[in-house]
Amino acid sequence: MSKSIRKPEIATVSPRRAEPAAGQLQKNAERSTAMAAPYDPANPAGMPLTRLLHYWFDEVWCKGNMDAVAEVMTPGTLISGAVSALAEPECDYGEVVAALRNLLGPVSVTLTHAMETADWVSARLLASTSDPRTGAPFQITGQIMARVEDGKIAELHSNMDYFRMFEKLGQLPPEALAVCMTGERLR
């Protein structure tokens, strides 16, 4: 008697990346009150560095206030991360922000976790946005580390889930990272 072979079902979204996990991240973010404290760019001395990151994301990424880039970053800020090739100190960081913001609907950023020392701050974040063509909402996560010098960001190291962002915008096929990890090429 032979056993039948059952073909595996392939889901378009893995259970790890299902929306309930994002819902849990949102609940954690809502419990975080320290991140909502205001940042005063005119008087940064003695303020928690987490407030600087909150101000950075709120003004630059959420509101599109490109004047805040000069308020928060030094002219020679060292930037590393997925878009670091686009954001060298010689270029206008605002152009990089504008290019990414043009791809997205309205953005809101919540710092879900944060740690800081005397001059370093690190945070995990949840960015909520939408595809402007379809209105479909989605969230991506990221981490950021910054060294602060005289109240301004002197080093910025970030890691965002751009694969998920481009999947949700329809620029990459669903589960593109998983496909790439098999050795296959995206076509």
Q: Which pLDDT tens digit goes with each residue over 86-145?
A: 655 456 777 888 888 999 999 999 999 999 998 999 999 999 999 999 999 999 999 999
pLDDT greater than 50 at residue 34:
no
pLDDT at 169: 94
- Whether the predicted model's global pTM rises above the 0.75 cut: no
Q: What is the edge-to-edge ordering of all strands in the sheet holding 152-160? A: 73-80, 152-160, 137-149, 120-130, 108-116
Cβ-contact 93, 100 below 8 angstroms: no
Tokens 């944060």 — which residue? 114
| pLDDT classification of 66: cutoffs 50, 70, 90 | confident
pLDDT tens digits along 163-176 = 899 999 999 998 88
Cβ-contact 39, 55 below 8 angstroms: yes
Distance, in Å, from the CA atom of 162 to the CA atom of 148, rounded to the nearest integer, reads 25
Q: Mean pLDDT throughout 32-57? A: 67
CATH T-level topology, domain 47-161: Nuclear Transport Factor 2; Chain: A, (3.10.450)
When the pLDDT of each residue in the chain is averaged and rounded to a whole number, the result is 78
